[in-house]
Structure 1
Amino acid sequence: MSGCPARYDEELGYWVVDDPALAREVLLDPETFRPDNAVLAHTPLSVKALRVLSGVGFALPPTLANNAGESHRPIRAAVARFFSPARVAAAEVLARELVSARVGSAAAALAVGQQVDLVQAVAAEPPAFVVLDLLGLREVDVPALKAWSLDSLELFWGWPGEDRQLELAYSAAEFYGWLRSRTAAAREAPADDLFGVLVELGLTDEEVCAVGYFLLIAGQETTTQLISTLFHRSLGQRVESAELVEEVLREASSVPTWRRVAARPAVVGEVELPAGAPVLLGLSGHGGSADLAFGIGVHRCLGAGLARMEARVALEAAGDLLGGVRLVERPPMIDLLSFRAPKRLLVTSIRNEE
């Protein structure tokens, strides 16, 4: 834990707050510390990238994570119905079936001497299928959604050069175009799915797409990354799944930081921050509670219960497999401003080496 309540990081360009108690105070004071910068691109977008995005009408007006206005509450309430405790509990059956099937396929491949990437083979797709089922969304190209998600995270929370940024912008534009088509379909034939509910709420097309954009990323990719970290920590051993989930949320969450901006001059600890100061909050790895990994207050992650359930189920279903493998290489990492996890976990069976 840092001894300084808030320090300015010249390289990042943020006032960094790692103390868990102070991070909680900031999150619980949304009037002073607004979420306006929560989903802004960390690396300013180039003119070429902006031109690609504008070509599909790309816009992220305030809706959920970046909304400090009066519309936040009704939008959040509409989305929260999809993540009720009862619905999450009912989704455990599907989550277990999806993970178990993939664990079985991975085990079969390992048994005949193949190397397996546990991220792609097991962790990647189940959270996407589960959240799509909860949201009532059918006929979604899951591999495309996974690719769009990783590209968008890099575009908004990474450090891409201009050429890479342009590639990512094309991917984000493709994703946004798909969201626009689903929104248009919902206006023509409303259904009781995410898009139908948002249209019925009276949101504009841009607002519906903005909700869908980050909900369909955060609702599954951050869980994939959490499961990947859990798998990494479990290799070659048997663990208590629920305990390890809480440990990783405390120490190495897939979302270790989050952003806020000071609406007026403010004090964090004894440090005075000017109006407009961008703040980067440490949510994990600084001695705080596991709950802090999901945020605190009016913008707490709606999928906290779902992520915990899916992570526990993944560890339970993969426990035997994880205990009998070893890494083939040091895992390359997803290492962005607010997202961190193994990108690949290439393993081989220990039994084949005996």
Structure 2
Amino acid sequence: MRAGDGCPARYDESLGYWVVDDPALAREVMLDPETFRPENAVLAHTPLSVKALRVLSSVGFALPPTLANNAGPSHRPIRAAVARFFSPARVAAIEPLTRELFTERVNAAQRRLADGPLDLVAQVAAEPPALVVLELLRLRDVDVPALKEWSLDSLELFWGWPDEDRQLELAHTAAEFYAWLRQRVTAARATPEDDLFGVLVQLGLRDEEICAVAYFLLIAGQETTTQLISTAFQRSLGTVIDDTAAVVEDVLREASSVPTWRRVTAEPTTIGGVDLPADAPVLLGLSGHGGPADLAFGIGIHRCLGATLARLEARVALETAAPLLARARPLEPEPPMIDLLSFRAPKRLLVADFDS
């Protein structure tokens, strides 16, 4: 998203949204979910083709209001049920596993770097956040590489600009992901356990609601953290890190992996003196506009449940990778990017040893 031009709210014809970059106004919008509704939060930015919709409908794909797209009465109990998995005590207790996972990958990368270039995203940043969130959600027997592929493809499908051919490819992987979720729900109904699916079954949710919760939770709970870590790595290459927590906060303020988020007006309203009609799609700037680091996680009833976890994982990743980052030099001054409406980070970080 482009930086603002000084207007409190401006209509961007190329994006099709009223853009609100001012951090104070973005905060105001998020604290008023009755006027600025979340129904468009997870809609496909690029309208899906008939062929893509057919693929999705073949597995009963549906995203009813649950978490990010829900401001109704069902939101509170669903959020409360999921929030228990991310309690402060559980997040604090997961730090040793987080450190172990990153240390293993950093040590392997240190050895490989002596032999030639490597990709820090694939080798270090990619898998630990997925393994951590699966542990917190008590989910076993998950194909992590498949989850990573499903996640990236779904982000592109819902927040990217894919043409019809690409949409069809992405729809097939989204359908594969959704079919897997349905299988997990069926298994949880037969034998409820204390994992995410069992808790949601016991909450009395419909299959489609459980799948909708799990679909984006399993994406947002790990892929956005991988992207946050990837950006922190990029900004730290060839440097000695004095304060890892400060680096994380700088990234959240200036280049968060989730730089924007969406809302839609429920009625004609005014923001910053600018009149918006009813049903106006609004794009909020959460990062890179001089606001606080915490704004990157949202505020109000839809604040990111994993904010504390993401900060912990990014800090631990930087602490364990600091010696590696200090000796690594980038091989691509401008690495290829994940560059979507609401997600941005390096797709890869090819590095070599400074001594090579």
Range class of TM-score, shorter chain = over 0.9
In the alignment, which residue of structure 2 is the partner of 1:134?
A: 136
1:338 aligns with 2:342: yes
Q: Which residue of 1 aligns with 2:81?
A: 78
Match of 1:122 among 110, 121, 124: 124
CA offset digits 1:194-252 (Å, max 9, x no partner): 00000000000000000000000000000000000000000000122100100110000
8 A contact 1:2–1:19 mirrored in 2: no
Match of 1:303 among 296, 303, 306: 306
Retained in 2: the 8 A contact 1:115–1:348? yes
Structure-1 separation of matches of 2:191 and 2:275: 53
Q: Secondary structure at the match of 2:33?
A: coil
Partner of 1:230, secondary structure, is: helix
What SS is found at the alignment partner of 1:258?
Answer: strand
Runs of 4+ in 1 over 3 A off after TM superposition: none
Contact 1:333 1:340 in 2 (8 A): yes
- The CA deviation string for residues 26-52 of structure 1, in whole angstroms up to 9 with x for no partner, is 000000000000000000000000000
- SS of 1:279's equivalent in the other structure is strand
**Aligned position for 1:94:** 97
Mapping for residues 51-66 of structure 1, pairs under 5 Å: 51-66=54-69
Supply the AA of the counterpart residue of 1:24.
Answer: R
Cα deviation code 1:49-81 (max 9, x no counterpart): 000000000000000000010000000000000
- Distance in structure 1 (CA, Å) of the matches to 2:114 and 2:90: 36
- Match of 1:131, as an amino acid? V
Letter aligned with residue 36 of structure 2: F
1:319 aligned to which of 322, 330, 337: 322
TM-score after normalising by structure 1: 0.99
Alignment correspondent of 2:44: 41
Alpha-carbon separation, structure 2, partners of 1:185 and 1:102:
33
Which amino acid is the alignment partner of residue 38 of structure 1?
A
- The one-letter amino acid paired with 2:54 is R
Residue 344 of structure 2 corresponds to residue 350 of structure 1: no
Partner Cα separation in structure 1 for residue 122 and residue 185 of structure 2: 30
The aligned amino acid for 1:351 is D
Question: Residue 290 of structure 1 corresponds to which residue in structure 2?
Answer: 293
C-alpha distance in 2, partners of 1:232/1:266?
A: 41
Which of 180, 188, 191 is the equivalent residue of 1:189? Answer: 191
In 2, are the aligned partners of 1:15 and 1:280 still within 8 Å (CA)? Answer: yes
**Partner secondary structure for residue 347 of structure 1:** strand
Residue-by-residue CA offset, 1:267-297 (whole Å, 9 max, x unaligned): 0100000000000000000000001000000
1:158 matched to which residue of 2? 160
| Separation of aligned partners in 2, 1:291 and 1:242 | 13
Deviations 1:298-351 (A, max 9, x none): 000000000000000000000000000101123100000000000000000012
State the Cα RMSD in Å: 0.6
Query: Which of 236, 239, 264 is 1:237 aligned to?
Result: 239
What is the 5 A alignment of 1:195-214? 195-214=197-216
Deviation at 1:111, TM superposition (A): 1.3
Distance in 1 (CA, whole Å) between partners of 2:96 and 2:262 is 35
1:3 Cα offset (Å): 1.3
For 2:249 and 2:218, the matched residues in 1 are separated by 24
Counterpart amino acid of 2:354?
A: I
Count of aligned pairs between the two proteins: 351
Alpha-carbon shift at residue 2 of structure 1 (Å): 3.8
* Counterpart secondary structure, 1:341: strand
Q: Aligned letter for 1:37?
A: N
The aligned amino acid for 2:338 is I
The aligned residue for residue 172 of structure 1 is 174
1:169-204, Cα deviation, whole Å (9 max, x unpaired): 000000000000000000000000000000000000
Whether the 8 Å CA contact 1:157–1:337 is kept in 2: the answer is yes
Unmatched tracts of structure 2, length 5 or more: none
Aligned counterpart, 2:220: 218
> C-alpha distance in 2, partners of 1:100/1:331?
24
The one-letter code sitting in structure 1 at the alignment partner of 2:343 is F
Shift of 1:5: 0.2
